[in-house]
Amino acid sequence: MAQRSDHSTVSGDENGGEEHPTSPVVAEIEAKSTESAVAVIGHPVHAMLVHFPIALAIAVLGCDLLVWITGDPFFARAGTWAAGGAFLSGALASLVGIVEVLLVPGIRARAASWTHASAGMTFLAALAASWGLRLVGLPVVPDALALSLICTVLAGVAGYHGGKLIFEEGIGINMSRG
Ligand code: HEM
């Protein structure tokens, strides 16, 4: 067992069989604060907002599939509203995420934050295209449907990498180390 900078140990298993002390670069990153800069009573606001774009992006896909199956134009209108809601709530969530990345040293220092930020911005760009093109009359099947499929996949990618920030990097978790 090797010693970590926070006095925990790194087992041979964790290090792929090799036992060695945590690198000073990793120790320096781990020492930086990861406390959320935009939080309500300790709860990161970004984490509260991201459910809306994710759920609405999936709702758009549902609407598009219902247009395809039923041909009812009601679902095309509902899809346009849902796409608008997804984009606007995604823009708000992303704004808060950007503030977190810029203001919190421990978030900014982690490569995983930038991977997630890139995925989030790509998702937001796809939502903008999905909403904007619907507003100018893009046919739902197959064009807008293809876009909503892409948005749903990107929601999964952004959400997965966001979750990794919380569960693997410990960002936004306010917990005593004992
Ligand atoms: C609409 C696009 C985005 C989605 C769907 C999204 C999704 C997520 C999710 C699911 C989490 C984990 C929350 C939890 O498990 O409680 C998260 C955390 C996080 N995301 Fe995003 N994200 C988006 C955009 C961004 C952008 C553009 C940035 C930064 C430039 C960003 C920065 C962060 C940070 C710093 C965290 C850690 C928690 C916090 O400090 O608030 N996100 N995100």
Q: Whose CA is nearest to atom 11 of ligand 1?
A: 162
- Burial label, 8 (beta-carbon count in 10 A; 0-12, 13-18, 19+): exposed
CA-based nearest residue to 46, from 89, 85, 93, 6 = 93
C-alpha 50 to ligand 1 mean position (Å): 7
Q: Which domain, by its residues, includes 133?
A: 33-167
Q: Is residue 175 part of a domain?
A: no
Regarding whether 126 and 85 lie in a shared domain, the answer is yes
pLDDT tens for each residue of 121-176: 999 999 999 999 999 999 999 999 999 999 999 999 999 999 999 999 988 776 55
Q: Is residue 65 part of a domain?
A: yes
pLDDT tens for each residue of 73-109: 999 999 999 999 999 999 999 999 999 999 999 999 9
Q: Can you tell me the distance from the alpha carbon of 169 to that of 94, in angstroms, rounded to the nearest whole number?
A: 19
With a threshold of 0.85, does the pTM exceed it?
Answer: yes
Q: What are phi and psi of 134, to 5 degrees?
A: -65, -40
pLDDT tens for each residue of 2-59: 334 343 444 445 555 555 678 888 888 888 999 899 999 989 999 999 999 999 999 9
Ligand 1 neighbourhood includes 120 CB (under 6 angstroms): yes
Which amino acid appears at position 130 of this protein? S
Regarding whether 80 and 22 lie in a shared domain, the answer is no
Q: How many domains does one find in the chain?
A: 2
Ligand 1 neighbourhood includes 50 CB (under 6 angstroms): yes
Q: Can you tell me the distance from the alpha carbon of 79 to that of 76, in angstroms, rounded to the nearest whole number?
A: 5
* 3-state percent breakdown (helix, strand, coil) of the chain, nearest 5: 70, 5, 30
CA-based nearest residue to 94, from 59, 135, 126 = 126
CA-based nearest residue to 177, from 16, 15, 31, 26 = 31
